[in-house]
Amino acid sequence: MPLIHTVAPSQAHGQVAEVYRQAEAILGRVPNAFQMYSGSPALLETQWQQTAYFMRHPTLSFPLLAFTRLLVSQDHRCDYCIDFNAAMLVERAGLPPEQIAAVKRDPTTAPLEARDKAMLLFALKASRTPHEVTAADIDALKSLGWAESDILDAVAHAARNMAADIVFNTFKIVRDE
């Protein structure tokens, strides 16, 4: 049980119910990740809007974003996010659990195109050692065809996930069943 009260889908009303309805329509359920934010309806709405933005991202692929979340969460020991994203990679990307385990040990083995793998490794560098990022890192991504907006979005996605890891670990999120 989390340390703060969360609103179950069957008890939701108003803005919380509307976000839950949208999440369930797209995800097939309301993950505990969204329920964790239910005590602050405006924050829940913001979280959903950002999630929806990245789900529709025109250039950052689902596997790239899911691996980013998984590996950032691994760095912050957020078991909920690690398990959630690993399950999504199995269910939606068709990856075997063994391959996901290998990527957790060595991100350079991620089964991504070279361009996406470069972005993944950059997002990890930015989340782990942001002061070590240089113009050469940005130029290398641009040479692969990435726009600055994509680079910004990838780093913001990693940073957003770091914040979620802190929230979930602090309030002891319960894993989805």
Question: pLDDT tens-digit profile of 143-173?
Answer: 999 999 999 999 999 999 999 999 999 999 9
Residue 18: per-residue pLDDT: 97
Which one of 23, 38, 55 terminates a domain?
55
CATH number at residue 101: 1.20.1290.10
Tell me, yes or no, whether 176 lies in a domain: no
Q: Say how many domains are in the chain.
A: 2
Percent of the chain predicted with pLDDT > 90: 97
Residues 66 and 144 in one domain: yes
* pLDDT(177) > 90: no
Residues 92 and 23 in one domain: no
Residues 42 and 96 in one domain: no
Residues 83 and 146 in one domain: yes
Per-residue exposure over 52-71, b if at least 16 CB sit within 10 Å of its own CB, e if not: eebeeeeebeebbbbbbbbb
Percent of the chain predicted with pLDDT > 70: 100
Tell me, yes or no, whether 2 lies in a domain: no
**pLDDT tens track for 55-88:** 999 999 999 999 999 999 999 999 999 999 999 9
